[in-house]
Structure 1
Amino acid sequence: MRLKTFLYFADFVFYPLASAALVAVALLLKQPPRWDEAAVGFACGLLLWSLAEYVIHRFALHGPAYLAALHDMHHADPRALVGSPLWLSLSSICLGSLLPVWLLVGFGSACTVTAGLMLGYIYFGALHHVIHHYRLKRGSYLWRLKRRHTRHHYGKTPCNFGVVTSIWDRVFGTYCPE
């Protein structure tokens, strides 16, 4: 959905702070995770985000009519400030990561996994913003991401649902070279 400028950029402040707060909470527990457990949890969160990005984009934003219509606003005007409001992304992250991981393996691990997922989410948001709003140096990493993502927006077949990585597109057969 189209967001006001302040609300669009609020994620870029909120999520890094929330991620740091989750790590701090995990470290302040009576039995905090060891540094290696925290690092593995954080890495799992990043990996989980990359898969969630692909699944959400492919099956939700290009799936049910209501969600697809909202996402079509982005395809119609890629430079518009279109995104998820903070209340929706935060509740989705809490219900989709923090709560289930907490129930499965404990609160400390849930904090580190969710912190990684949040930073993955904000990295995605930053990359997606940059590739739609900035002129990029030809041949650079960001330029190659933009080329791949442009194929998603303007290609003849639905492909390249991942912005941060093409791994899941390659795994699930939806990758199209630039």
Structure 2
Amino acid sequence: MPTTVSDLTLPSATSAAITTTAMPMTTTTKPMPNGKLMQSQNEQQQSTELNDKSVRNGLKESEEQQFIIKYRQKYYDIRRFLHNHPGGINTLRGLNNSDMTTRFLHAPPHSDAAMYLMKEYEIKPTQLQNDTKRRHRLHQSVDDEQIAVDNEQEQVFAESNEKGIELLGDNLHEEDKNNNQLDESMEHLVDWSNAMLPQISHITRHYDEWVHKPVDRPLRLFGPTYLEMLTKTPWWVIPLFWIPVISKCLWDEFSPIWNTASLNELLFMTAFFAAGILLWSFLEYVLHRFVFHMKVNANTHPLLCSFHFMIHGLHHKVPFDSMRLVFPPLPGVVIASILYAPLSVLLPQPRIVLAGALSGYLCYDLMHYYLHYGNPSLQHTRFMYNMKRYHYQHHFAHQDMGYGISSPLWDVVFNTRIHLRKLRYTLRWR
């Protein structure tokens, strides 16, 4: 059976290699006895079949590398967005090579940030046309029987399957009840091919609006490589660095009195450790709300604007950058040292409180990474499941609410809590 590919399945970067492999083999057969000639022809036929099978496998791999959808009259490849979709990957199943317009209009309204992010995956019309021509040439090399295709086969009729998905080619007759329109791009304000931090001071007037319009692309913060590397931190560096620090603080305080202290004294010191964790949760809220989300306008000093982008703005601009989801240890040490100074004067057990605060910070940073890249289950990890939804709402819909990462406690206290909508289905991100 010939392999059939939808009109919207574009070949990947491996297409050229696949086409080369699929070229018919031309050999010159010298006169030989009938038996040997038949054997040579069989070998050539087997070789051709292997090539055809290889090409079809290559086509299948090419298709799996793309996830093409149509919204209104534009086409998008959202393959790299699937696992980052705030609404879960299961809400996108069955949409590959389909028109999602009707389903999108019946869904809850998407935020402006979500609509802006959608522009990142748009396929340009010229790219779609050129790749379609290459795809047809590729299929001609796979099977000569598919040289001619009827016009009726090329036209895709509007149909609905059991999930209510409309196939490509559907003409939209419904009014856009959600009133979602793609915002005009603001990315002309900066040059993404150069270091971003030196450019921020020049866009102060538009910075607050620009930084809250997310994109999915690589971001270089500094020009020099040695500085750029300091801004990228794998998640496992955080426990590797901070667990020994926390253990040392606790060991220095508990080990001298472990055999001599009474139970009340040990409970008292444990209470200081718990107080440190609570202190961090409060600092997490205050820093996130008043420092990381400080108001930046046209009158803000350019250096302050650049500082904001460096410590948190870049995370909202490129929320899917896995190397910038946790706080680098070096600036973390500086902040911890600054916070420890008043604790050493005001509290009787400052090192234990510091150990508790650092433990809270460690949980916060690792949890932040998991909320972006994990797949919490409603049945087994309900708290993490709700916090993932909560944090995504903060990113893409309510940037001025939901400042708690490890807990919504202080959002409840200070009335900045995001109320999650009750869903009729369970979200999954893997």
TM range (shorter): 0.7 to 0.9
Q: Aligned with 1:55: secondary structure?
A: helix
Asked if residue 75 in structure 1 is aligned to residue 313 in structure 2, the reply is: no
Match of 1:163 among 387, 391, 405: 405
Structure 2 partner of 1:41: 272
Deviations 1:80-106 (A, max 9, x none): 12143212111211221x322221234
Q: How does 1:9-48 map to 2 (within 5 A)?
A: 9-28=236-255, 34-48=265-279
> Which of the pair has the greater relative contact order for Cα pairs under 8 Å at 6+ separation?
1
TM-score (norm 1): 0.86
CA contact (8 A) 2:277 2:360 kept: yes
Q: In the aligned structure 2, how far is the partner of 1:156 from the partner of 1:162?
A: 12
Shift of the 95–135 alpha-carbon distance from structure 1 to 2, 3 Å rule, reads: same
Paired residue secondary structure (1:174): coil
Conserved in 1, the CA contact under 8 Å of 2:233 and 2:328? no
Q: Distance in 2 between matches of 1:28 and 1:137?
A: 40
Distance 2:343 2:395 in 1: 34
Q: Percent identity?
A: 24
5+ residue gaps, structure 1, are: none
1:86-125 to 2 correspondence within 5 Å? 86-96=329-339, 98-106=340-348, 109-125=349-365
Secondary structure at the counterpart of residue 114 of structure 1: helix
More helix by share: 1
CA contact (8 A) 1:161 1:174 kept: yes
Distance, in Å, in 1 between the alignment partners of 2:254 and 2:401 is 41
Cα displacement (A) at 1:162: 0.5
Letter in 2 for 1:116: G
Cα RMSD for the two superposed structures:
2.3
Map Cα deviations across residues 33-74 of structure 1 (whole Å, 9 max, x no partner).
831121111011000000000111111111152343221211
Q: What is the match of residue 393 of structure 2?
A: 151
CA–CA separation in structure 1 for the residues paired with 2:365 and 2:406: 9
Contact 1:60 / 1:67 at 8 angstroms: preserved in 2? no
Larger Rg: 2
* Separation in 1, partners of 2:399, 2:245: 38
The alignment of Structure 1 onto Structure 2 pairs a total of residues equal to: 174
Kindly indicate whether residue 384 of structure 2 is the aligned counterpart of residue 142 of structure 1.
yes
Q: Taking structure 1 as reference, are residues 164 and 111 closer, same or farther at Cα in structure 2, changes over 3 Å only?
A: same
Q: Which amino acid aligns with 2:408?
A: S
Aligned mates of 1:60, 1:165 — CA distance in 2:
18
